[in-house]
Amino acid sequence: MRVAIVIVLLVIGSVAFHFLSPWWMTPIASNWTELDDALIITFWVCGAVFIALNLFLAYCVYKFSHREGSKATYEPENEALEGRLTFWTAIGIVIMLAPGLIAWNKYITVPDDAITVEAVGQQWQWSFRFPGEDGVLGAVATEHISPDNPFGLNPGDPWGADDILIDDGFGELHLPLDQPVKIVLRSNDVLHNFYVPQFRAKMDLVPGTFTYIWLTPTRTGEFEILCAEYCGRSHYNMRGLVVVDETPAFEEWLKEFPRFGQSDVAAAAGAP
């Protein structure tokens, strides 16, 4: 009896906790409502199963606890019942998986009209690079990294000259509102992860290769970047900030930053 009551109370308590606690998904600021929808479908399917299974558990514990003279029913198996349960479980799985896979397909498919920006991680700060008018990020390599060339741009690559470099130590990135953006991710040292809770999207930065996410900011405001892949002793301090602006304000902001072509390194290499 007592055990059954506690299980019921735990179920009620969990549901109450869900509705009463102040913690739920941080209000979204990007197009990734599909991710939230897939999550919510999963939540309700799983929540229903959680409630049903545990209430049945409580019922069994209450109803079939040993009493003087009680005896268990002998029933080695019940294939029909097991078959039905398997079938309905499979249906539940499909209901959750289908929206998940559809959202994933969208998540990894960058729309054609997306602008590009690169986010670079290096223990333990963020810097950013826009490709400039040509829309192409110049080639980079670790061997080119130096105090004068923190991005490691290849001075010989003409595509790099108009790249706009944002490396002011604050890790602040502005993005234009309602404009799809592909964020190319790159690390100079170890794994990091570009994570803005309000954007939902998230991806590791992997040294030696490039990764990406894409999203469309849907409201203006300031959103913190948190590193979400452990990257050493100051991982918890590897913060940055995304500021979503109306397009004119964004363009104003972008003007303040230098082009790679203006740097000493580029000049020394005689780049155009």
Partner 1 sequence: MTTYTTIAEDTRPLHHPKTWIGKYVWSQDHKVIAIQYSLTAVGVGLVALVLSGLMRMQLAFPGMLEFITPDAYYQFVTMHGMIMVIYLLTALLLGGFGNYMIPLMIGARDMVFPFVNMLSYWVYLLSVIVLMASFFVPGGPTGAGWTLYPPQAITEGTPGAGWGIIMMLTSLAIFIVAFTMGGLNYVTTVLQARTKGMTLMRMPCTIWGIFVATILGLLAFPALFVAAIMMTLDNTIGTSFFMPAIISNNVALDHSGGSPILFQHLFWFFGHPEVYIVALPAFGIVSDLIATHARKNIFGYRMMVWAIIIIGALSFIVWAHHMYVSGMNPYFGFFFATSTLIIAVPTAIKVYNWVLTLWRGDIHLRVPMLFAIGFIFTFIHGGLTGLFLGNVSVDVPLSDTYFVIGHFHMVMGVSPIMVVFGAIYHWYPKITGRMWDTMLGQAHFWITFLGVYAIYLPMHYLGFLGVPRRYYEMGETAFVPESVHLANVGITIAALTVGAAQLIFFYNLIYSYFKGRKADPNPWGATSLEWLTPDTPPAHGNWGPDLPKVYRWAYDYSVPGAAQDFIPQTTPPGPDETPHDH
Site for partner 1 in 53-92 (CB under 8 A): 53-54, 56-57, 60-61, 64-66, 70-79, 81-82, 85-86, 89-90
Residue with tokens 């109450």: 16
CA dist 194 and 268 (Å) reads: 33
Q: How far is the CB of 122 from partner 1 (least distance, A)?
A: 8
200, amino acid identity? R
Do 240 and 225 meet the contact criterion of CB atoms below 8 Å apart?
yes
Applying CB under 5 A, which part among 2-10, 155-163, 222-230, 241-249 lies near Cu ion?
Answer: 222-230
Applying CB under 5 A, which part among 64-72, 106-114, 190-198, 263-271 lies near Cu ion?
Answer: 190-198
Q: Is 39 in the site for partner 1 (CB under 8 A)?
A: yes
Q: Is 235 in the site for Cu ion (CB under 5 A)?
A: yes
- Partner interacting with residue 72 (select from Cu ion, partner 1, none; CB below 5-8 Å by kind): partner 1
Q: Is 230 in the site for partner 1 (CB under 8 A)?
A: yes
CA dist 26 and 28 (Å) reads: 6
The size of the interface with Cu ion (CB under 5 A), counted in residues, is 5
180: which 2 tokens? 């799809």
222: which 2 tokens? 């300031």
Q: Which residues contact 35 (CB under 8 A, 6 or more apart)?
A: 103, 107, 200, 201
Q: How far is the CB of 244 from partner 1 (least distance, A)?
A: 14
Q: Is 236 in the site for partner 1 (CB under 8 A)?
A: yes
3-class SS at 203? strand
Q: How far is the CB of 162 from partner 1 (least distance, A)?
A: 25
Binding to partner 1 in span 106-125, by CB under 8 A: 107-108, 122-124
Q: What are phi and psi of 139, to 5 degrees?
A: -65, 145
170: which 2 tokens? 């604050």
The residues of the shown chain that bind Cu ion, judged by CB under 5 A, are 192, 227, 231, 235, 238
